[in-house]
Amino acid sequence: MNCREFADFLMSYLDNELDAEACRVFESHLDGCRPCVGYMEDYKKTVELGRCVCKDGEGPVPEDAPRELVAAILEARKTLR
């Protein structure tokens, strides 16, 4: 396995979708390749960062709801009655 193949199969590896033999080949590449170890670590961090930033990272929403949008939504409700 080379680094390109490693990168191709990385997600399947992390999702435990590789069979035992493919897993062994994957891990034996990982044992001898520092760039791929670094790539995998930062790939995992990327997933975590995306998840956390959008889940709770935006904290209190930094603005009030646009008044005209609130008004338009409430106005639209009247058409339902």
List of residues contacting other proteins (CB under 8 A)? 2-5, 7, 10-12, 34-36, 38-39, 41-55, 57-58, 61, 63-66, 69-70, 72-74, 76-77, 80-81
Smallest separation, CB 20 to other proteins (Å): 20
Give min distance, CB of 72 to other proteins, in A. 6
SS (H, E, C) 14-56: HCCCCCHHHHHHHHHHHHHCHHHHHHHHHHHHHHHHHHHHHHH
Complex with other proteins: residue 25 or 39, whichever CB lies closer? 39
Tokens of 37: 């170890």
Residue 1: exposed, middle, or buried by beta-carbon count in 10 A (0-12, 13-18, 19+)?
middle
Q: How far is the CB of 54 from other proteins (least distance, A)?
A: 4
Nearer to other proteins, 21 or 81 (CB): 81
Q: Which helix (H) or strand (E) holds 1?
A: none
